[in-house]
Amino acid sequence: MLPPLADLLDAARVVSLPMRTRFRGIDTREALLLRGPEGWSEFSPFVEYDDAESANWLRAAVEFGWEQPPGLLRSSVRVNATVPAVPASAVAGVLERFPGCRTAKVKVADPGQHLADDVARVAAVREALGPEGRVRVDANGLWNVDEAEHALNALAPFDLEYAEQPCATVGELAELRERTGRYLDIPIAADESVRKASDPLAVARAGAADLLVIKAQPLGGIRQALSIVAEAGLPVVISSALDTSVGIAMGAHLAAAVPGLEFDCGLGTASLLAADVTGDPLVPWDGSIPVRRVEVDGGLLERHAASAGRRDWWLARLARTYAVLAG
């Protein structure tokens, strides 16, 4: 059951947090925070998402703030470093913000850049992590099949753990996997084909991916995500959506409830923020983050409060999205 909308609006706090490096095309991350009986929760669909797509994010926020999470199988979660589409010369500085991480996810296919930029960035990450490090790349679906095959051939010498969403559609992923499976040992991971799909299991049924990237907010919360994991029957990486530490806590509780978690998770992204909503943020230490709820700092909420116009925009969005769920 949804809490009354008036209660959500009264509890809502909207923040605008600066990024250390431009990431996903943004320099600041806006989020709406809610406090329920179980603690703080987060509603932070990206601003371009419509109300129907944002409904899952609100469902997840209500679940985490108003319901107890499932039983936990671990008290900490190993996480990867996340390397934005920075010049190769900036890679070492980025990795310093992820102490102890043995795995790095590297953004590639960034608009306005070239494959040579991606190769140089991945090479710098491989050099920094050494031969035992794990390097994965994420193209956010921006290559077509031919471009993806060409790029993976160029990046194969750096011993990729996997390539995340190299193409946009399930059909393209299946074709790429069939092509490269003949001669390249680079697994294919699906992200957008899970979290933005009307049927998040379609990519698994089509045999279009070797593993799935699972995010709590976009999939409607921890329980719904666990159901998808169980039904898909594929290995998973639990990741974040550039959340504050409150949203990271939701992802950590999901990761802690997944049986047989094989891969380091994409839950270290609070390190990409130049500010957070808590004095004890969920950032990596010794390659892991703890599984715990986050207590929000009122002073930080005030310091990083969004402008009145942006606050009103988010409150109106909350009301519209609530109407989608209630309907």
Q: Is the dihedral of CA 11, 16, 19, 23 positive or negative?
A: positive
d(CA 254, CA 70): 8
Options 215, 293, 311, 317, the catalytic residue: 215
Whether residue 117 is annotated as binding a ligand: the answer is no
Options 13, 78, 105, 107, the catalytic residue: 107
- Distances from the Cα of 179 to the Cα of 110, 143, 164, 174, angstroms: 23, 15, 16, 9
Centroid of chain to Cα 104: 14
Looking at residue 307, the DSSP 8-state letter turns out to be P
SS3 of 156-192: the string is HHHCEEEEECCCCCHHHHHHHHHHHCCCCCCCEEECH
107 catalytic? Reply is yes
Looking at residue 234, the DSSP 8-state letter turns out to be S
d(CA 287, CA 268): 9
Whether residue 243 is annotated as binding a ligand: the answer is no
d(CA 191, CA 30): 22
Tell me which residue has tokens 């010049």. Answer: 87
SS3 218: coil
Enter the tokens of residue 168. 């946009």
d(CA 122, CA 137): 8
d(CA 165, CA 142): 8
Tell me which residue has tokens 């169980």. Answer: 230
CB 162 within 8 A of CB 211: yes
Whether residue 295 is annotated as binding a ligand: the answer is no
Tell me which residue has tokens 């194969």. Answer: 156
Tell me which residue has tokens 């193409």. Answer: 167
Binding residues for Mg(2+): 138, 164, 191
Which residues are part of the catalytic machinery? Answer: 107, 215
